[in-house]
C-alpha cells in the first residue's frame, strides 16, 4: 500500500555501513524517476550518482544534517550513507534552477518511496552550497545541484507523532535516541 510506504519512508540520518548500495541500485531508482511528471514535459533534471567511498565522504563533508539537533552530529561517524543521488537542474533546459523545484520534489519523493520499497532509506538534503558540490564532483557548469538524496540501509528508528497543542513541528530525539517527527492533524490542514 502506498500509505504504508509513505509512513516507512522517513528521513533517516544514520546507516549500517556494512550494507552497500551500488551503481545499478541507483540507476534503477533513476529509471523510475525519469517517468515522473514534469512541467511542460521539459525534463530538466539530471542526476549525478555518488557511490564510490571517497566521493560519498566528500558529499557528507559538504552537507548539513538535522540542523535542529544542535548538540548531535549526523550522520554519526561509522554510520554514513552508502550513496547519494545529487539531483541537478540542467540550465540548458531550464535556465533558472528554482524553476525546476516542483519537478525536483516529485522526482525526489518518487525515488525515496522506491528506495523504501527496496529496503533502503535516506534523507533529502537541501543544506549545501551548489557551487561547492558542483566543483567537488566536477559537474559541468550548466548542471546545477538542487537537492541531494542520501541513501543506505538505516540503522536508527524514526516515529511519526502528533504535533503538540502549541503547534510545535520541530523533530526531536528522546533519551534512547529514538527520533520523533510531529505531523499536523488532518483537520488542521484542510481549509474550510
Ligand X SMILES: Cc1cc2nc3c(=O)[nH]c(=O)nc-3n(C[C@H](O)[C@H](O)[C@H](O)COP(=O)(O)O)c2cc1C
Identify the CA nearest to 37 among candidates 106, 116, 83, 108: 106
Q: Which lies closer to ligand X via its Cβ, residue 23 or residue 129?
A: 129
**Contacting residues toward ligand X, per CB under 6 A:** 10-11, 13, 64-66, 123-127, 158, 171, 181
Kindly state the DSSP code that residue 15 receives in the 8-state scheme.
B
**Least distance to ligand X, CB of residue 189, Å:** 14
**Least distance to ligand X, CB of residue 147, Å:** 6
**Least distance to ligand X, CB of residue 15, Å:** 13
Q: Which lies closer to ligand X via its Cβ, residue 107 or residue 143?
A: 107
Whole-number Å distance between alpha carbons of 43 and 46: 8
Question: Are 80 and 17 a contacting pair, CB within 8 Å?
Answer: yes
- Cell matching residue 81: 550513507
Whole-number Å distance between alpha carbons of 85 and 21: 11
Q: Which lies closer to ligand X via its Cβ, residue 13 or residue 80?
A: 13
**Least distance to ligand X, CB of residue 126, Å:** 3
Q: Which lies closer to ligand X via its Cβ, residue 28 or residue 169?
A: 169
Rg of the Cα trace of the chain? 17
Amino acid at each position: 500500500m502506498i500509505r504504508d510506504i509513505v509512513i516507512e519512508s522517513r528521513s533517516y540520518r544514520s546507516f549500517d555501513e556494512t550494507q552497500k548500495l551500488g551503481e545499478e541500485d541507483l540507476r534503477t531508482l533513476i529509471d523510475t524517476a525519469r517517468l515522473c511528471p514534469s512541467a511542460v514535459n521539459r525534463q530538466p533534471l539530471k542526476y549525478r550518482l555518488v557511490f564510490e567511498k571517497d566521493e560519498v565522504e566528500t558529499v557528507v563533508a559538504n552537507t548539513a544534517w538535522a540542523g535542529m539537533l544542535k548538540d548531535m552530529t549526523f550522520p554519526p561517524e561509522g554510520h554514513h550513507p552508502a550513496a547519494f543521488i545529487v539531483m541537478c537542474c540542467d540550465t540548458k533546459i531550464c535556465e533558472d534552477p528554482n524553476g525546476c523545484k516542483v519537478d525536483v520534489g516529485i522526482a525526489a519523493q518518487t525515488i525515496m518511496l522506491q528506495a523504501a520499497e527496496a529496503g533502503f532509506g535516506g534523507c533529502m538534503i537541501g543544506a549545501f552550497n551548489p557551487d561547492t558540490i558542483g566543483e567537488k564532483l566536477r559537474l559541468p557548469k550548466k548542471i546545477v545541484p538542487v537537492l541531494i538524496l542520501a541513501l543506505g540501509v538505516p540503522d536508527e528508528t524514526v516515529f511519526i507523532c502528533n504535533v503538540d497543542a502549541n503547534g510545535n513541528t520541530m523533530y526531536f530525539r528522546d533519551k534512547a535516541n529514538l527520533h520523533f517527527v510531529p505531523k499536523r492533524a488532518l483537520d488542521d490542514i484542510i481549509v474550510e
